[in-house]
Structure 1
Amino acid sequence: MNKLIHTLFLLFAFNGVLIAQQIDSIPPIPAMRQLHHEYIIRTFSSIKAYPATDNKLSDAELAMVANIITRLRSKIELSTEIDNNAKYTWLRGVNDLLQGYLANYQSNKVTGTPLSNLLNAYQSAMNEQLTGGSIAPLMKQLDVESAIILTDNFALATNRGMSAAKDSILVKQCDRNPDKILPILFRSPSTASADSLIILAAFRNPEELYSYAAAPNPLGKKIQSINHPFVKLVSRLSLTSTGRMYFPFLDQLYTGKLKMDSITKFVGNDTSAGYFSLLVRTRIDYAKRIQQGDTPMAAKVLYNKLKAKSIELYINEINALHNEKSDFVRFKSISKLSPQELYYLAVTGEEEMYTSSFVNGVYPRIFSGMKSPRSDSLLAMVNNDQYKKFIKITAAYNKLDDFLAKMDKKDAEQLMRGFVNGLEKTNSLEDAVDVADSYASVYNPALKKLMLSQVQLELKRCIGIKNKRGQVIYELLETIFSSLEPSNKIDLSAKLGIMPIYELPNTYLKDKENGRVVMQQFFYGDKDGMVVFNAFLNKFRNTNWKITKKSQWVEVSSRKGTPITIYANLPLDETEELDAASQDSLIAYLHEEKLHPSIVIHRGHSYYLKQTVHKMPSSAKLVLLGSCGGYQSLNEVLEIAPGAHIISSKQIGTGIINQGLINVISEELRLGKNLKWPALWNSLAIRFSGTAKEKFDDYVPPYKNLGAIFITAFNTYMQQETE
């Protein structure tokens, strides 16, 4: 006994003041229960000794807790309502509570209830248990973590209100995590609030409900049993093999705008134009409702299905026929589509569609199918759905001026104002990057002036409402746009704090370990790939270069001047994926030899571009995307190689221009020169003539890649802000 009193004497001391009266209030403790008291003391000591954190208890709180613990221990020992066996239980309960709090403390789970209040709540729960009352009302007053500590408490396990208490905790968890209602219910599907929570989850995420309803488990059975019209509709669909085909039309089925039969006739043949047309009509209806502030159920599901069908039924086919000389044959599958349907092919399939598929197929057929081929009429037909994306696509393929010319000047100006406005309202930079890219594709001086003016107005608005994100976005756009006017004499790299964009220093491209410029080319084993590869080698068969052939690649090294090595995988048979294997073999070799390519060149069609981007190294400082429409892959490239200079084509990439770029770049670097883009670009421009000159004009040099410049500048700014 003396040893225990001495321990208490030491533990309950704060700021040199001993809480002797607390120790004195502990009645004599029978030897058989002394260990349980020591457990409580040890756990409280651990709480006090835990390393300082933002959640560490204050000295005042610790003193209060010490007092409450002493009172609880005394109450348990002195109570005549509690027999000896039950006293073990309640002492263990005190320690369980402290252990639960400590566990949360250690895992950084902050309880919203102070430990002193939690101990008082335990005492109240103890009174309820001893008098046959329910702890459920008490649990409703506590935060989730604190309520869980008490409902998990050994001493309260048999309370008659335990089921209701746990139900209230589950409701609180769902309120705090409304997107995880069904995963939470999965652990307790029979809880009293299950019906109301399932109905709530149904409207928040009907697709998730569909998945859970189809499962042969207790939660799935519970969902199937609920008598609510919307839940019943989703449950019914989940039990059919074709339910997913109806799901995009869930909102209209629930509201009665569509009947099951009107969809069923297409479900058996979902590859038909009828199903695709129904998707388009429904999306157009949804677009109008979304603009009016409504939120159609499963709207995202419908859009994803529309995208999938666009690619599956049409885009894959017209892409596959890219070598077909007859447009009639190539575009036969889309010849009967309406302007609206063609519009959605473009906006949903932008990442998959080849340049020629859009420029020669989809775009002209949109307007040839209209009685009055006007752009504003087209946008009205689709309720202006995704119009910013369509503007971006037309700009990427040098069709923006043509698109805007198909409407009145005043309407075109209004459209572009809307295109520029509100860029700070989205969570991503996609819209802002689209505006930057599109500006570079506008050749009408009046329209460029309009866009710059609107950017300046939006900047003033964001400053006025103190929207920092908007201010940064519009300041960057204003600076970038203004820099394109030579008379403004704006040094973008100095102004934006980024690497020089008009020049790429020779030294910047050299490998730090060996002082060599390492270039890597990705070739592919189709018919064109073989031709382009041989043309590449022929250009380097001279006294300035040495060609070394390996089993999977070639090395082209400079004999004099700046040390340069161009590594290019062999364009082996693509049908057996040997070209991919040769790329992987070269990549492994470069990694093993610690060679870091600073220049990466894609030498293949646009449908191979994703593979190149996926494999390209983060060490790239200059990237040449030599395929059709490479301009659309800027974001993906910059995610891998931030700040890289990018050369790309908005339309058709050609071997003669790509090789011309490679020749000039490699020779300038071999001679020890920096890559000065404006001068280099002007010298190249005079080398091409006729159709080659037209195609060269569609190539975008690094200093005019406004979207890439914007992304680099924005990321640089954000990094500086966090430092």
Structure 2
Amino acid sequence: MNRKAALLFLFITSLTILAAPDAFAQKKKKKKDKKKEKIEKLEPWEVDTLIAPIPINRQMFTGNVEKQVKKADMKDGAADGIIELEDTAVSHTVTQALLKQVPLILIHIENLPAATPQKKIQYHRSLEAMMRRLNARPLTPDNATYIKRSVTNFEELMLAREQNRVMEFVKQNDNIYTLDNSELLNEYPEAKAYVFEAVGKAKPEIMIKRLPEFARESYADPVIAAAAKIVPGTILTYATSTSALSSAVRRNKDPLVQTIVQIGTESKTPLKALPFLTEIYNKKRTIREVDAITANPKAYYKALVGLKTEGNNISEKAVDQELNLRGLELVREVNRLHDSPAPVRFKSLMDFDAEDLYFMMIGSQDEIYTSSFTWMFDRMLEKMKPLSGDQLLDKVNKSHFRTFIRMAAGYNKLSPFLSSMEEDKKSALMKEFVANLEKGDEDELEDAVDVADAFGSITDPKLIDFLKNEIKSNYERTYGANNKESEKGVIVYGLLSTIFNSADNSTELSGQLSVIPPITFVPYESLKNAKGEVIVQTFFYGDEDGRSSFASFKSNFPAAKWKVSSNKDWMTFTSIGDHPIIVYANLPLEEPKDEEAQRALQKYLTEKEIVPTMVIHRGHSYHLGGSLENLTPEVKVVMLGSCGGYHNLAQVLDKAPDANIISSKQVGSKSVNEPIIRTMFSQLLQGQDIDWINSWSELNKYFNSRGAQEKDLFSDYVPPNKNLGAIFIKAYRKMALKNDAES
């Protein structure tokens, strides 16, 4: 059996597919090895020892680089030549880049035969600046890849300068790494302009944020023009500001940029008018006509939906943002009337069409209640007749259709939606649902996470088998393609296969995904600090919900097991016993004093070098950013009081790559939160690991004895071992980093 056939055999028999990405990386590495030429004689800059001692007048500059290397070495608390992290792949990558490769670059600079002393000083200064930039980044898998590529790019760009091939180099490497090392291009204005313009056109949403760096340069003009097509909202913000950025935008001759300037100048509500940029630009509507629409909330929402269904909007992101915001406002009102009779609760939605409700549900995915979704979904099915589900999706241009399918599956509404279609249309839709997940940049994972999350909620055996076969087919397709996109596809489909084939058995899945920490439990030892304490930080907010949640939260700390202290900003709960737990919770003071209390607590923790390993967010999802702002890689458990959609999951894992995430499909309930918290604390008070399987087994028994409402609320909570979206993101990032390190 040849190698590819063997891999497919493993795939078909549902053995771990993680070997496939490894094999793919090895295959790629062998190809690169074949291309390597044997070097008969090393050039001076390739010698890894100093050819001559560093002169005294340069030792200060090389010393500054060495200080930054030492700072990197101390990231794990010990200057021992290894940045030791729990994530061994990240540890290896950043150790090689920052502690091995950078010191070699320093030596290579000194060994450059043609470089003048002043040029060597310039290189050392630029190397120090790069190290400062890299040292400021958290050591996550994504950042490890960035660090490795930045360091390699620095040396290659430096050598390109020495070999008089700068323009050739930048044309082959017009990317974010050359951009960030562009200090080395200060003496090459043509090459620098090329990089800024090229990256500006390829990634305008990134470059436009850096406009202050180059607003007065001529190459700012094409960057602004490119950004106008992708992030017109940022251009509008600059145009209406009083800074120098306004001049840079207003001087731009691009017709679209000038239309944005006109909206900023003439519209009564420029942000609301911006989604109509295409129509104003094409002279289909005047700014005055648009202002008349935006003045009527219902007409405005329906007009936004009309823009989505028509498609081809220059300001697509602005349309999405406004559509989500205005739809969320409508859903929040329905949520607020949770206890009212249906005719009262849903009266404000009765005049909306099926496509209006479709976008409303998607836009409110982080806050919509189960009862709100199910009513709106049923109403959508009723209003879309005589259209079938596939025809409705065609009408909305399949906008965010994977998110919709994931939500429908999560709320047990996928079957009635698919039942509205003919069999061949249903198959085509679900085939498309899992197809082309390799598209986009390597860190664009939202669609794949929607697929992973949806699978965890699908119960139809026939559909499950269909999706497994489609994942297998897509794996074979991407593996056979053997191109840049397929590298991502092999990892994505390999991981999805592993998750799909082991989703019902968390222990088996944990074993299959050995690339990430265990998913079924959190070791007690990993939660303790050097003093043996488990530190927990809890965030509360000053609205009515926050005050009620705080009062309920305090019931978790009976005097027999906890002692309590407080000040004007926060309360501290300290366990009594052999296994110390310290819980910090800011007081839910009236807004904005609640955020001031959070900042005061954070300042105290930082000054005292107290690092939480558990974080609990108690509040609506629109408060989530504040709770997660200060997450660190040490955090191992994050409890969200709201939906764990892709953006929330990614935000958590960006800062705490190994976090176990507890999330809810709807806004959290204190009647469910407290039993979960007590269950975790009960295990910790005994010095035990937090065992998710046993915890949820006990919690199921508890809620089965409660009322139907509490039982239903608990069923919306997803334990970390079943949070397939989070598991996918973790594993993907680790596998991508591993493959990158081996390439």
- Deviations along 1:313-364, one digit per CA (max 9) or x if unpaired, are x355445x3566244444443331221122222334434x433584256434
Query: Aligned letter for 1:268?
Result: A
| Pair 1:569-2:586 in alignment | yes
- Deviations along 1:261-303, one digit per CA (max 9) or x if unpaired, are xx743423513233432332232121xx6xxxxxx54444444
Query: 651, 658, 664: which is aligned to 1:636?
Result: 651
Partner residue in 1 for 2:618: 603
Alpha-carbon distance, 1:699 to partner: 1.4
| Pair 1:271-2:295 in alignment | yes
Q: In the aligned structure 2, how far is the partner of 1:342 from the partner of 1:268?
A: 23
Q: In the aligned structure 1, how far is the partner of 2:550 from the partner of 2:573?
A: 12
Query: 266, 274, 286: which is aligned to 1:240?
Result: 266
TM-score if structure 2 supplies the norm length?
A: 0.64
Alpha-carbon distance, 1:693 to partner: 2.2
Alignment check: 8 A CA contact 2:586 2:594 kept? yes
Alpha-carbon distance, 1:436 to partner: 1.0
Alignment check: 8 A CA contact 1:503 1:675 kept? yes
Alignment check: 8 A CA contact 2:524 2:690 kept? yes
Which has the larger displacement, 659-668 or 396-405?
396-405
Query: 472, 485, 506: which is aligned to 2:491?
Result: 472
Q: In the aligned structure 1, how far is the partner of 2:620 from the partner of 2:233?
A: 37
Partner residue in 2 for 1:710: 728
Partner residue in 1 for 2:73: none
Alpha-carbon distance, 1:304 to partner: 3.9
Partner residue in 2 for 1:416: 430
Query: Aligned letter for 1:444?
Result: D
Partner residue in 1 for 2:719: 701
Query: Aligned letter for 1:474?
Result: Y
Tell me the SS of whatever aligns to 2:602: helix
Alpha-carbon distance, 1:391 to partner: 1.8
Q: In the aligned structure 1, how far is the partner of 2:565 from the partner of 2:548?
A: 19
Tell me the SS of whatever aligns to 1:369: helix
Alignment check: 8 A CA contact 2:331 2:372 kept? no
Tell me the SS of whatever aligns to 1:416: helix
Q: In the aligned structure 1, how far is the partner of 2:193 from the partner of 2:258?
A: 24
Q: In the aligned structure 1, how far is the partner of 2:703 from the partner of 2:565?
A: 31
Partner residue in 2 for 1:379: 393
Alpha-carbon distance, 1:679 to partner: 2.2
Alignment check: 8 A CA contact 2:431 2:470 kept? yes
Partner residue in 1 for 2:440: 426
| Pair 1:650-2:665 in alignment | yes
Query: Aligned letter for 1:270?
Result: T
- Deviations along 1:10-46, one digit per CA (max 9) or x if unpaired, are xxxxx9xxxxxxxxxxxxxxxxxxxxxxxxxxxxxxx
Superposed, which structure 2 residues align to 1:575-614 within 5 Å? 576-614=591-629
Tell me the SS of whatever aligns to 1:565: strand
Q: In the aligned structure 1, how far is the partner of 2:277 from the partner of 2:522?
A: 54
Query: Aligned letter for 2:526?
Result: Y
Identity %, equivalent residues: 31
Superposed, which structure 2 residues align to 1:227-306 within 5 Å? 240-241=266-267, 244=270, 248-252=275-279, 258-260=284-286, 264-272=288-296, 273-286=298-311, 297-306=314-323
| Pair 1:449-2:468 in alignment | no
Partner residue in 2 for 1:483: 502
Q: In the aligned structure 2, how far is the partner of 1:708 from the partner of 1:499?
A: 12
Query: 407, 415, 438: which is aligned to 1:393?
Result: 407
- Deviations along 1:160-196, one digit per CA (max 9) or x if unpaired, are xxxxxx9x9989986796568999998588x9xx9x9
Alpha-carbon distance, 1:408 to partner: 4.1
Alignment check: 8 A CA contact 1:401 1:443 kept? no
Q: In the aligned structure 2, how far is the partner of 1:583 from the partner of 1:212?
A: 31
Change in CA separation of 1:449 and 1:54 when aligned onto 2, cut-off 3 Å: farther
Tell me the SS of whatever aligns to 2:574: strand
Query: Aligned letter for 1:240?
Result: E
Change in CA separation of 1:450 and 1:620 when aligned onto 2, cut-off 3 Å: same
Q: In the aligned structure 2, how far is the partner of 1:183 from the partner of 1:641?
A: 31
Change in CA separation of 1:654 and 1:113 when aligned onto 2, cut-off 3 Å: closer
Superposed, which structure 2 residues align to 1:512-523 within 5 Å? 513-523=530-540
Q: In the aligned structure 1, how far is the partner of 2:574 from the partner of 2:161?
A: 65
Query: Aligned letter for 2:266?
Result: T
Q: In the aligned structure 2, how far is the partner of 1:540 from the partner of 1:597?
A: 18
Alignment check: 8 A CA contact 2:664 2:716 kept? yes
Tell me the SS of whatever aligns to 1:608: helix
User: Highest Rg: 1 or 2?
Assistant: 1
Alpha-carbon distance, 1:105 to partner: 12
Alpha-carbon distance, 1:586 to partner: 3.0
- Deviations along 1:451-472, one digit per CA (max 9) or x if unpaired, are 2221111111111111211101
Alignment check: 8 A CA contact 2:160 2:166 kept? no
Q: In the aligned structure 2, how far is the partner of 1:472 from the partner of 1:659?
A: 38
Change in CA separation of 1:591 and 1:397 when aligned onto 2, cut-off 3 Å: farther
- Deviations along 1:71-119, one digit per CA (max 9) or x if unpaired, are xxxxxxxxxxxxxxxxxxxxxxxxxxxxxxxxx99995956995999xx
Alignment check: 8 A CA contact 1:419 1:435 kept? yes
Q: In the aligned structure 2, how far is the partner of 1:673 from the partner of 1:551?
A: 33
Q: In the aligned structure 1, how far is the partner of 2:301 from the partner of 2:731?
A: 41
Superposed, which structure 2 residues align to 1:300-339 within 5 Å? 300-311=317-328, 314-315=330-331, 317-318=333-334, 321-322=336-337, 325-339=340-354
What is the Cα-based RMSD across aligned positions, in Å? 4.7
Query: Aligned letter for 1:505?
Result: P
Tell me the SS of whatever aligns to 1:647: strand
Alignment check: 8 A CA contact 2:634 2:656 kept? yes
Query: Aligned letter for 1:557?
Result: T
Which residues of structure 1 form unaligned runs of 5+?
1-14, 16-49, 60-103, 118-144, 153-165, 290-295
Change in CA separation of 1:231 and 1:494 when aligned onto 2, cut-off 3 Å: closer
Alignment check: 8 A CA contact 1:652 1:695 kept? no
Alpha-carbon distance, 1:591 to partner: 2.9
Change in CA separation of 1:329 and 1:442 when aligned onto 2, cut-off 3 Å: same
Change in CA separation of 1:385 and 1:568 when aligned onto 2, cut-off 3 Å: closer
Alignment check: 8 A CA contact 2:491 2:736 kept? no
Query: Aligned letter for 1:439?
Result: F
Q: In the aligned structure 2, how far is the partner of 1:184 from the partner of 1:660?
A: 52
| Pair 1:543-2:560 in alignment | yes
Change in CA separation of 1:523 and 1:278 when aligned onto 2, cut-off 3 Å: closer
Alignment check: 8 A CA contact 2:434 2:467 kept? yes
Q: In the aligned structure 2, how far is the partner of 1:635 from the partner of 1:218?
A: 36
Q: In the aligned structure 2, how far is the partner of 1:275 from the partner of 1:223?
A: 30
Alpha-carbon distance, 1:479 to partner: 1.0
Alpha-carbon distance, 1:624 to partner: 1.9
Alignment check: 8 A CA contact 1:609 1:630 kept? no
Query: Aligned letter for 1:479?
Result: T
Partner residue in 1 for 2:574: 557
Query: Aligned letter for 2:433?
Result: F
Alpha-carbon distance, 1:649 to partner: 1.6
- Deviations along 1:524-571, one digit per CA (max 9) or x if unpaired, are 344444444344433432533333444443333332242222333333
